[in-house]
Amino acid sequence: MQTSSLVSRDLASRRCEIVVVGGGITGCVTAYHLARAGADVLLLERHDLNTQASGRNAGSLHGQIQHEPFLHQGEAWARGFVPALELMRDALPLWDGLGAELGVDLEVSRRGGVLVAETGDQLRDIERKVAVERAAGLPVRLLDRAELQEVAPYVSGRMAGGELCPDEGKVNSLVAAPAFAAAARRHGAVVETGVDVLDVQRRPGGFRLVTSRGTVDCTQLALTAGTDLAAFGELLGVRLPVTAEPVQVSVTERVEPLVPHLVYFAGEKLTLKQAGSGALLIGGGWPARRDRAGNPVLDPASLRANLRVAVTVVPAVARAQLLRTWVGVGNGTPDQSPLIGRVPSAPGLVVGMFPYMGLTAGPVVGRAVADLLLERDPGRDLTPFRPDRFAT
Ligand SMILES: Cc1cc2nc3c(=O)[nH]c(=O)nc-3n(C[C@H](O)[C@H](O)[C@H](O)COP(=O)(O)OP(=O)(O)OC[C@H]3O[C@@H](n4cnc5c(N)ncnc54)[C@H](O)[C@@H]3O)c2cc1C
């Protein structure tokens, strides 16, 4: 619970240079870099910090093209995804130093990721994906059956081979965004929780935000509101087709060291990893349901399927007691690439959001959003991520 939200109840007629809307990983990283550069920044979050996707995800640090979209959309899509893949690639080594920079143990470990194939056909699909990834400069390699057993002896002997992506790993997503927010505060950012931004009005030289706790005027605005970006797009007359898909993740009791890698499966959805605590985190994008009121709720059939796949790939998982399953709403875009950039029709506005794997990319995306607001060179071509690229 953030005490600031209890202390300052009213934002009436607040004025500041830059407002960041959204206290997930993207907004907290953005606020951190803005505050560090000396900007007058106010972060507004509807709930508490890190309570939506950024605090409900599985903590995977991804570095490879995800197998399922590759299967559905093929090489041409994968080649188009390479600029987004480069954001993930650049974020991975940054995570290693963030604990020291922010003064919080983020439980980062990067011992690699293993995509497991059960059949020869699946291995051939992986081989096609590896070819695109290697052409993009990723240090991935194909594993035959014997090499897979050597690298990952905990994987079922039935498995035919796989792919090793040495850069992948995990982070404790419960601590990452709050650590950025705390550091942002230390650098002078004001972080307000329990503030719902209800309307955005364009004003000469900036914006007026109508919130549940008063109005705020600002010169520039960073929208890092995750799945709510679609609604903000409607307010501003910009098409931001961000999808919101409820998915679930499970955690087991703590067990002896079993799985050092981030494990995926080429046959069905799976991510499996072992947190620093020893708990196994089991997910991979298995869908949750929505109840009649539209609230995301657990889908028991999805849970059973997810556990079946985990045990098929890593049989020892069957010995661990399941403790809890939760639901989060994942953010997507039609082409699976991020939205990062200014919106020409709304001067002063910068949008930041990385779909599906936005925890991994968060340190790079938030930094890029801050760079744009500060008129610093982001050091990379952001045109593939133009937020208005879906405008009809
Ligand atoms: C179950 C699940 C598992 C996942 N696993 C992984 C993984 O292992 N690795 C990985 O890299 N990614 C994973 N992801 C994706 C990742 O979590 C997201 O891409 C990322 O967290 C998005 O961060 P964000 O800051 O852009 O959005 P969010 O974390 O959703 O933050 C946006 C914030 O904006 C606030 N907000 C919205 N509208 C308003 C408003 N009007 N006023 C005020 N505040 C507002 C929201 O309350 C929210 O806190 C997973 C996602 C889910 C759901």
In the prediction, which pLDDT does 392 show?
62
Ligand 1 pocket mutation, candidates 2, 57, 297, criterion most atoms within 8 A of CB: 57
Ligand 1 pocket mutation, candidates 43, 52, 66, criterion most atoms within 8 A of CB: 52
Quick one: which of 90, 38, 98 has its CA closest to 378? 90
Per-residue model confidence as pLDDT tens digits over 62-105: 999 999 999 999 999 999 999 999 999 999 999 999 999 999 99
Q: How distant is the alpha carbon of residue 47 from its chain centre?
A: 18
Single-letter code of the amino acid located at 107? E
Quick one: which of 130, 98, 136, 128 has its CA closest to 114? 130
* Residue with CA at minimum distance from ligand 1 atom 12: 357
Using the atom order of ligand 1, give the atom closest to the CA of residue 227.
30
Measured distance CA(154)–CA(260) in Å, rounded = 10
Q: How many CB atoms lie within 10 A of CB 376?
A: 13
Quick one: which of 174, 162, 53 has its CA closest to 113? 162
Q: Is the pLDDT of residue 152 over 80?
A: yes
Quote the ligand 1 centre to 321 CA distance (angstroms): 28
**Residue 247, ligand 1, Cβ within 6 A:** yes
* Residue with CA at minimum distance from ligand 1 atom 31: 24
Q: Is the pLDDT of residue 310 over 50?
A: yes
Q: Is the pLDDT of residue 10 over 80?
A: no
**Residue 163, ligand 1, Cβ within 6 A:** no
Q: Is the pLDDT of residue 277 over 60?
A: yes
Identify the band that residue 14 occupies on the pLDDT scale cut at 50, 70 and 90. confident
Using the atom order of ligand 1, give the atom closest to the CA of residue 28.
25
Measured distance CA(3)–CA(300) in Å, rounded = 37
**Residue 329, ligand 1, Cβ within 6 A:** yes
Asked if residues 360 and 110 have their Cβ atoms less than 8 Å apart, the reply is no
Q: Is the pLDDT of residue 12 over 90?
A: no
Matching fold, domains 11-109+170-240+334-392 and 110-169+243-332: no
Per-residue model confidence as pLDDT tens digits over 123-133: 999 999 999 99
Measured distance CA(325)–CA(154) in Å, rounded = 23
Quick one: which of 23, 18, 17 has its CA closest to 4? 23
Please give the structure tokens belonging to residue 360.
């991994």
Q: How distant is the alpha carbon of residue 95 from its chain centre?
A: 13
Q: Where are the alpha helices (DSSP H) in 152-299?
A: 173-186, 229-236
In the prediction, which pLDDT does 1 show?
39
Measured distance CA(284)–CA(314) in Å, rounded = 14
* Radius of gyration, alpha carbons of the chain: 21
Q: At what angle do helices 173-186 and 67-102 cross, to 10 degrees?
A: 40
Using the atom order of ligand 1, give the atom closest to the CA of residue 365.
26
* Residue with CA at minimum distance from ligand 1 atom 50: 57
Please give the structure tokens belonging to residue 90.
């650049």
**Residue 246, ligand 1, Cβ within 6 A:** no
Which residue, chain included where needed, has tokens 């051939």?
Answer: 124
* Number of residues assigned to the chain: 392
Quick one: which of 248, 232, 197, 216 has its CA closest to 349? 232
Q: Provide the β-strand partners of residue 350.
A: 222, 342
32 burial level (CB within 10 Å; 0-12, 13-18, 19+): buried
Per-residue model confidence as pLDDT tens digits over 174-223: 999 999 999 999 999 999 999 999 999 999 999 999 999 999 999 999 99
**Residue 115, ligand 1, Cβ within 6 A:** no
Give the CATH number of domain 11-109+170-240+334-392: 3.50.50.60
Q: Is the pLDDT of residue 265 over 60?
A: yes
Quick one: which of 258, 264, 263 has its CA closest to 277? 258
Domain boundaries, the chain: 11-109+170-240+334-392, 110-169+243-332
Measured distance CA(392)–CA(385) in Å, rounded = 16
Per-residue model confidence as pLDDT tens digits over 326-372: 999 999 999 999 999 999 999 999 999 999 999 999 999 999 999 99
Measured distance CA(350)–CA(31) in Å, rounded = 13
Asked if residues 213 and 195 have their Cβ atoms less than 8 Å apart, the reply is yes
Measured distance CA(314)–CA(322) in Å, rounded = 15
**Residue 180, ligand 1, Cβ within 6 A:** no
User: Looking at domain 110-169+243-332, does it have CATH number 3.50.50.60?
Assistant: no
Measured distance CA(81)–CA(139) in Å, rounded = 17
Across the chain, what does the average pLDDT equal? 96
Measured distance CA(351)–CA(341) in Å, rounded = 6
Ligand 1 pocket mutation, candidates 228, 354, 364, criterion most atoms within 8 A of CB: 228
**Residue 228, ligand 1, Cβ within 6 A:** yes
Dump the DSSP string for 175-216: HHHHHHHHHHHHTT-EEEES--EEEEEEETTEEEEEETTEEE
Q: Is the pLDDT of residue 297 over 90?
A: yes
Quote the ligand 1 centre to 160 CA distance (angstroms): 35
Measured distance CA(183)–CA(28) in Å, rounded = 9
In the prediction, which pLDDT does 272 show?
98
pTM: 0.97
* Residue with CA at minimum distance from ligand 1 atom 19: 358
Q: Is the pLDDT of residue 113 over 50?
A: yes
Quote the ligand 1 centre to 146 CA distance (angstroms): 39
Ligand 1 pocket mutation, candidates 28, 46, 245, criterion most atoms within 8 A of CB: 46
Identify the band that residue 391 occupies on the pLDDT scale cut at 50, 70 and 90. confident
Q: 3-class DSSP state for residue 352?
A: strand
**Residue 25, ligand 1, Cβ within 6 A:** yes
**Residue 240, ligand 1, Cβ within 6 A:** no
Q: Is the pLDDT of residue 157 over 50?
A: yes
Quote the ligand 1 centre to 318 CA distance (angstroms): 30
Average pLDDT over residues 229-242: 96
**Residue 224, ligand 1, Cβ within 6 A:** yes
What separation, in Å, do the N-terminal and C-terminal C-alpha atoms of the chain show?
A: 42
What does DSSP say about strands 296-297 and 289-290: parallel, antiparallel, or unpaired? antiparallel
